[in-house]
Structure 1
Amino acid sequence: MEKAKVSVIQLFAMMFLFELGSALVVSLGSGAGKDSWLAIFLGMCGGVVLFLVYYFLFRQYPNLPFTGYARIIFGKYIGWVIGLLYTVYFLYAASRNLRDFSDLLLTSTMPVTPLLAINILMVLAICYVLYLGIEVVGRTAEVFIVTLLLFGVAGNFLVFVSGNIDFHNLQPLLENGWKPILVTAFPSITYFPFSEMFVFTMLLPYLNRPKLAKNVWLSALISSGLILSYTAALNVAVLSVEEVGRSTFPLLSTIGKVNLMEFLQRLDALVVYTFLITMFFKIAIFFYAAIIGMVDLFKLKNHQQIILPAGIIITFLSMMIASNFAEHIEEGQNITSFYIHIPLHIIIPLIMMVVAMIRNRFKHKAN
């Protein structure tokens, strides 16, 4: 791959924007009702536990992507197959997020635009940035995280001054006990969005100060988790738990209720723009991880030559993944979370950690 390095701030910006992704807009944690914010917070704690597994593996092989040290831990052939499995997963995850993005645009602002047209334009923009390299992605994230935070502060201020917030909608706490909260937090929210940060095991070798990887990852995970938890509470306070449960994109409805002096209205564009930024980086990072995997597994000399073909695959997959948005969401909740996230984000990394620990113990005894 390219001989590039990203700074601590750039990696934090990419992780933060990636983690918000589509989770900021969808009804995350709605299974816990009024306590969705608490379920997200607990899911974030589960994400921290998984991070410790990923970080342990990174510390053993700080100069290699995940596909590289999978071959060291499992052996040349089994490790290669596992690396290929993860590379295919990254392509699939990029296509799922691309479909999320295009479906929200169709629902909110562009109802008569062909789905394929939106997907192609998004993929072409991402291909261009990835062609320029990971450093350009990092610098772009640095710029956009500032605009995103400004929009977030402005949007929250307008929601508060509009007088639409009713904190009684959040009461009583633990109305239905701990069970729905725990069932929602573990495993659903732990898998989406927090375990998806596994993808950064492919990008950490580019960090110019590897010793700070732990601080950057944890700060990005916790800060984004707190924002998601706060957003869930805000949606319930403004809309009520019943309306959040019915809404596909509750944040759009929350910001849509802002009406100041019959002048400041229809601020949905703030949410759409925020979603555009976060999803751009989420798709781009999954896309780039797949490129790293292909280059590492097939020993390619130039990663730029496979960017456009990979983009075509992602576009095609995003169109074929489901016949409609309802089917797409159902697949994500019932299939992806259990049959993809559990083995790829939990079981295989845990096995790798155990094998690496055993090998380290034998090495110390040998020495």
Structure 2
Amino acid sequence: MEKAKISASQLFALMVLFELGTSLLLPIAMDAKQDSWLAILLGTVFSFVLFLIYHKLYLYYPDILPTEYMQKILGKAMGTLLAFLYIFCFVHDVARVLRDIGEMLLTFAYPDTPLFIANALLILVIIYTVRQGIEVIARSGEIFFIIMYILAITGFILIVCSGLIDFSNLQPVLEEGIFPTLKVVFTQILYFPFGEAIVFTMILPYLKNPKKAKIAMICATGIAGINLTITMLINISVLGVGLTARSQFPLLSTIQSIQVADFLERLDVFFMIALVIGGFFKISVLFYAAVIGTANLFKVKSPSQLSYPIGLIILFMSLAISRNFQEHLHEGLGIEIFVLYIPLSTIIPPLLLLVAFLKNRKQQRE
């Protein structure tokens, strides 16, 4: 680990930006139709349980990375294998988010630019940022957190002033009962975006005041969840369920609909800036976790040396991960949730906590 420390407020800002990230970009929870906002809200509540599990593991091993305490809990061989699996998951997630942002930029502003160029320019900036260390990422997060919310509040006011909101699009509430909504919660929302935040177990050892970790994590998750709920409420109110589900980028379609006093329109730049900020910090945190985890696992003394080779792997993985954006969404919101995110974010951590608890209890008795 590098000798760096971040504050609880910096952790809070990073977590909010991370969880908003590409979640604002994509049509999440649309299997719940007009109740998708309720699925996100319930997913936020249930995700608190996950974060309490992550926090408890952190309390058992506050000074070491998960890639190290997995070996202490499960033994050298099994722990190393599991740690490598988590690092692969982080690298894979970086590639997916990079593809999301690249596709958005091409759709929005650069239709004639090759995807490789857009992704390469973005990953170069992120490599430079990650090489500066977690303190620089965290301080930047505090600044951009404020910018993000200025954009969000401005956009919300303009949407309200334009008279686009039609709450009848949200009716009927729970038309088919609560079970379809709960199904979406436990098959989608709990893992994307909230389960992805398991990456912050790699950041917690850098916290100045460990006692503030729990409140920072819970508050950040609550704020991000409320923001995503409001965003989905607005998308469905403005576009309707059908158009929201069919749109590649529902929030972009909503913002493109803004027209105030016949002159204030085409505010797509609000969307682009917000998504680039969120995507940048999501990629940076995941990339940093992959670099520091790999360095810790393979005993590399200078983690920054790994940033270029891992960045190159991520760049080519982002291009090869799927043939087109529709296939990319299908895999990310369907197959990969069951193959990667459910086991790594909700099944393995409780098992690790159970084994750590039993080992700790045995040591106390001895």
- Give the TM-score of the pair, scaled to structure 1: 0.98
Aligned residue for 1:135? 135
Q: Cα distance, 1:363 vs. partner?
A: 2.1
Aligned residue for 1:235? 235
Question: Is structure 2 residue 245 aligned with structure 1 residue 275?
Answer: no
Distance 2:359 2:77 in 1: 18
Listed one character per residue, the Cα deviations across residues 143-166 of structure 1 (whole Å, up to 9, x for unaligned) are 101110000000000000000111
Q: Cα distance, 1:360 vs. partner?
A: 2.0
Question: Is structure 2 residue 64 aligned with structure 1 residue 68?
Answer: no
Which structure 1 residue ranges, 5 or more long, are not aligned?
A: none
Distance 1:16 1:150 in 2: 14
Residues 257-276 of structure 1 correspond to what in structure 2 (within 5 A)? Answer: 257-276=257-276
Which structure 2 residue ranges, 5 or more long, are not aligned?
A: none
Q: Cα distance, 1:50 vs. partner?
A: 1.0
Check the 8 A contact 1:130/1:288 in 2, yes or no.
yes
Aligned residue for 1:10? 10
Aligned residue for 1:312? 312
Q: Cα distance, 1:355 vs. partner?
A: 0.5
Question: Is structure 2 residue 196 aligned with structure 1 residue 199?
Answer: no
Distance 2:209 2:34 in 1: 41
Distance 1:254 1:333 in 2: 22
Aligned residue for 1:152? 152
Q: Cα distance, 1:365 vs. partner?
A: 2.3
Distance 2:57 2:117 in 1: 40
Q: Cα distance, 1:53 vs. partner?
A: 1.2
Secondary structure of 1:96's counterpart equals: helix
Aligned residue for 1:288? 288
Distance 1:156 1:38 in 2: 19
Aligned residue for 2:45? 45
Distance 1:317 1:253 in 2: 29
Check the 8 A contact 1:46/1:186 in 2, yes or no.
no
Q: Which moves more between the two structures, 67-76 or 177-186?
A: 177-186
Listed one character per residue, the Cα deviations across residues 58-93 of structure 1 (whole Å, up to 9, x for unaligned) are 010011111111010001121111111111111111
Letter in 1 for 2:350: L
Listed one character per residue, the Cα deviations across residues 176-233 of structure 1 (whole Å, up to 9, x for unaligned) are 2112211111121001001111000001001111110000000000100010011101
Distance 1:131 1:273 in 2: 23
Question: Matched residues, percent identical?
Answer: 45
Distance 1:65 1:46 in 2: 25
Listed one character per residue, the Cα deviations across residues 94-127 of structure 1 (whole Å, up to 9, x for unaligned) are 1011011111111222111110001011101001
Letter in 2 for 1:103: E
Aligned residue for 2:251? 251
Letter in 2 for 1:87: I
Q: Cα distance, 1:312 vs. partner?
A: 0.5
Check the 8 A contact 1:6/1:207 in 2, yes or no.
yes
Listed one character per residue, the Cα deviations across residues 9-40 of structure 1 (whole Å, up to 9, x for unaligned) are 11111111000011112111111111111000
Distance 1:225 1:69 in 2: 30
Distance 2:115 2:136 in 1: 28
Letter in 2 for 1:152: A
Letter in 1 for 2:285: I
Secondary structure of 2:259's counterpart equals: coil
Distance 1:352 1:7 in 2: 27
Distance 2:331 2:278 in 1: 22
Which 4+ stretches in 1 moved above 6 angstroms? none
Letter in 2 for 1:234: I
Distance 2:87 2:248 in 1: 30
Distance 1:348 1:356 in 2: 12
Distance 1:342 1:171 in 2: 31
Check the 8 A contact 1:256/1:266 in 2, yes or no.
yes
Aligned residue for 2:212? 212
Check the 8 A contact 1:14/1:141 in 2, yes or no.
yes
Distance 1:330 1:170 in 2: 25
- Give the TM-score of the pair, scaled to structure 2: 0.98
Distance 2:92 2:127 in 1: 16
Check the 8 A contact 1:53/1:353 in 2, yes or no.
yes
Distance 1:97 1:229 in 2: 21
Check the 8 A contact 1:53/1:349 in 2, yes or no.
yes
Aligned residue for 2:111? 111
Distance 1:331 1:246 in 2: 16
Query: How many residues of Structure 1 are paired with residues of Structure 2 in the alignment?
Result: 366
Aligned residue for 1:351? 351
Letter in 2 for 1:323: R
Secondary structure of 1:28's counterpart equals: coil
Q: Cα distance, 1:239 vs. partner?
A: 0.9
Distance 1:306 1:292 in 2: 9
Check the 8 A contact 1:40/1:189 in 2, yes or no.
yes
Question: Is structure 2 residue 187 aligned with structure 1 residue 181?
Answer: no
